[in-house]
Amino acid sequence: MVKEQDESLLQRCANKNFKSLIAPAQLTKDIFKKIEDTRIDKENQYIYNSASIEGNTLTLKHVSMVLEHPDVFNKNNWKPKEITKLRDAVNYPNINLLKIDVNEIIGLKDALDYLQSILLKKEKEISEEKSVEKRKKPMVKEQDESLLQRCANKNYKSLIAPAQLTKDIFKKIEDTRIDKENQYIYNSASIEGNTLTLKHVSLVLEHPDVFNKNNCKPKEITKLRDAVNYPNINLLKIDVNEIIGLKDALDYLQSILLKKEKKISEEVILKLHYHVLGRVNPKESGVYRRVQVTVGDYMCPHPRRVKSLMDKFYKWLNSDDARKLHPIKYAALAHFKLVSIHPFVDGNGRVSRLLMNLILMKKNYPLVIIHRSNRSEYYQAIRDANLGDISSFIRFIAEETEESLDFILSAISPGDRSGKYYTYCLRRDSAKKL
């Protein structure tokens, strides 16, 4: 009976939609004006309700006021008098919170305008695009599955049985591990704008006592400043502290792997962030952001939504459905979901890449480096995923994973199945037995 009622409801909607259509010949100027007025009113109601559901506190009246005067509330040209007038009208205690709510409204309007531009495309063009996409999808999907399978095979070949780990082999593994960690830290920091070279990153990590934030040796830091040609010693200290923070985070990640806990908790993510940002911005480290942030053209979720979005994220992260995915898919999705929420003021990319590696390394994959040289492709893959093409991002992560696996396999001598590199979990456990 319920199914019949549902079908009946859908049919009624279809009939009413057909009745609401107007033939072009019937469109007089008066009718068009009425339609246009109704459309504007309906759009305002849509924007008000859609924003209000997510916590925006502007009323329908004030939403209409904002949309009627976009020039007044342009984010690059705020008119103090008008915004103060609106703040008084809606009784906002803080003008910055008001600006966030206003920007959400204008953002939704921009999105609706974009949607309308898509609808105005010629039907033939849309049909052709869909046709091409339909032909491409099976082939691309097949290639993606083949890539994931290659990674799984190469990962299996790179594993070393504990019985093979002699002290000499372990020393080779340890030397390669340090080099790989240094490269990871250099690339992860460099993607975010850190200007230290790999050589100087290695120098900092070799002498943590010299560059300790509480005991920076003036002579050594000045020597490093001259070497990297820094105009300002304070900027150099920030870059150095970012490097040490990433090393602290990697050490913490390693301690998590040794515990072999199945669940990845909120505490783990917050502590990773605490280590990443703690030496640079202690106040914001290990806590969710309380301000609105944007990344390029991407408007991150409102700070009021961050906690609830992260709760949903942790639920998915530890769900059976997520764990059943191929490890690379699981890791890539976790990275993308976290960076999309952008829960922190800074350090989101670095924490997302650490989480990705935590998931992969739990499945005995090696430390995967997203290289600085691939930064443009990396950001483009994230943009594509934001637009709905998540397969592009998974493919990018799979390619970077395969590159790390190829590095390991190339280090294995002919006839020697020990290799020069080893995954974190097995390596550390085995080391204790040697």
Active site residues: 342
> Any binding-site annotation on 88?
no
**Nearby residues of 187 by Cβ (< 8 Å), 6 or more positions away:** 369, 370, 371, 372
What does the DSSP 8-state code read for residue 159? -
> Any binding-site annotation on 296?
no
Output the DSSP codes for 15-30. Answer: HHHHHH---GGG--HH
CA dihedral over 162, 164, 168, 170, signed as positive or negative? negative
> Any binding-site annotation on 386?
yes
The answer to whether 113 and 77 are in contact (CB under 8 A) is no
Match 């020069």 to its residue by tokens. 420
> Any binding-site annotation on 346?
yes
> Any binding-site annotation on 350?
yes
Output the DSSP codes for 95-107. Answer: HHHHHHHHHHHHH
Q: Tell me the Ramachandran region of residue 55: left when phi exceeds 0, alpha when psi lies from -120 to 50, beta otherwise.
A: left
> Any binding-site annotation on 351?
yes
Question: How many Å apart are CA 162 and CA 361, to the nearest integer?
Answer: 17
> Any binding-site annotation on 419?
no
What does the DSSP 8-state code read for residue 342? -
Nearest in space to 333 (alpha carbons), one of 322, 345, 344: 322
What does the DSSP 8-state code read for residue 298? E
The answer to whether 393 and 384 are in contact (CB under 8 A) is yes
> Any binding-site annotation on 347?
yes
End-to-end CA distance of the chain: 70
The answer to whether 123 and 117 are in contact (CB under 8 A) is no
> Any binding-site annotation on 55?
no
Binding-site entries: 346-353, 378-379, 386
Binding-site entries for ATP: 346-353, 378-379, 386
